[in-house]
Amino acid sequence: MPHSKGVPSDKSEPDMALEMADDLTLIDQCLAGNRSAFAGLYRRYGQRVRSTLYQLCGETGLDDLVQDVFLRAWRGLPKFRRSASFSTWLYRIAWNVAMDRRKKFARDRQRELTVSDPLDATLPDPSQGASGQWSTLHYQDVVRQALGFLSDGARSVIVLCDLEDIPQKDVAQILNVPVGTVKSRLFSARAALRQELERQGVEL
């Protein structure tokens, strides 16, 4: 459809075609050497990946983590199975990157006790209760802070299922576990999170 006279288009027709294309079409164009197609995938999923990484690893080094995810995705595209969901495959990469960072945090803490976890560094003193720092935080910030007290496994299912709203069957593929395992982990993780919030004096 031609554009109205005197009204410039914000995007060229090729750019608009990329925005309208499905994931598999963009992947095919990426494999053909079209970097603009990969930029389209980044625009489509970049913010979601960033949000997931932020919830799992905190703000420190976040830009580098996002870049690492998409660099791994670009290099891994030739091995991508077309029968799989690209978004689930990408979240799997993001989860692996996050867990690699978490393991590095753990090693750093062992080598130097003064090095703290970005998620844990801002955790308030539990003795403050609801009258302390927790009461000044937005609910989502409170939840994110409380995640710092959970294990990596519990934090992962809470972030993926509850905060990022990813279907449990997709989370099962991301974590490479049965759906039943996701359900049981989520039940336990929610209970642990609720207990931690209550311990901090947060009313649910």
The phi-psi region of residue 84 (left if phi > 0; otherwise alpha if psi is between -120 and 50; otherwise beta) is beta
CA distance 57 to 148: 9
Q: Are residues 80 and 155 in the same domain?
A: no
pLDDT tens string 101-124: 988 876 766 666 544 455 554 444
Looking at the structure, tell me whether residues 93 and 138 fall in a common domain: no
CA distances from 187 to 93, 181, 195, 204 (A): 24, 10, 12, 17
Looking at the 3D structure of the chain, how many domains does it have? 2
Per DSSP, 66 falls in state H
Residue 146: per-residue pLDDT: 83
Q: Based on the fold, state whether residues 90 and 144 are members of the same structural domain.
A: no
| Domain final position from 88, 113, 138 | 113
Distant-in-sequence contacts of 63-71, Cβ < 8 A, 24+ apart = 65/97, 65/98, 65/101, 68/97, 69/93, 69/94, 69/97, 70/38, 70/42, 70/46
73 assigned to some structural domain: yes
CA distances from 48 to 55, 71, 89, 164 (A): 11, 16, 13, 8
Of 113, 146, 169, the domain-final residue: 113
Which pLDDT does position 199 carry in this prediction? 82
Residue 129 confidence (pLDDT): 45
Parent domain of 199: 122-204
80 plus 138 within the same structural domain:
no
Q: List per-block mean pLDDT (blocks of 10 residues) for the chain, which spans 204 residues.
A: 46 65 93 93 96 91 96 96 93 96 76 52 44 50 80 92 93 95 95 86 68
Cα radius of gyration rounded to whole Å, the chain: 20
CATH label of the domain that carries residue 108: 1.10.1740.10
Give the separation between CA 154 and CA 182, rounded to whole angstroms.
10
User: Quick one: 26 and 99 in the same domain?
Assistant: yes
**Do 104 and 139 share a domain, yes or no?**
no
Does 4 reside within a domain? no
pLDDT for the residue numbered 131: 43
pLDDT, residue 132, reads 45
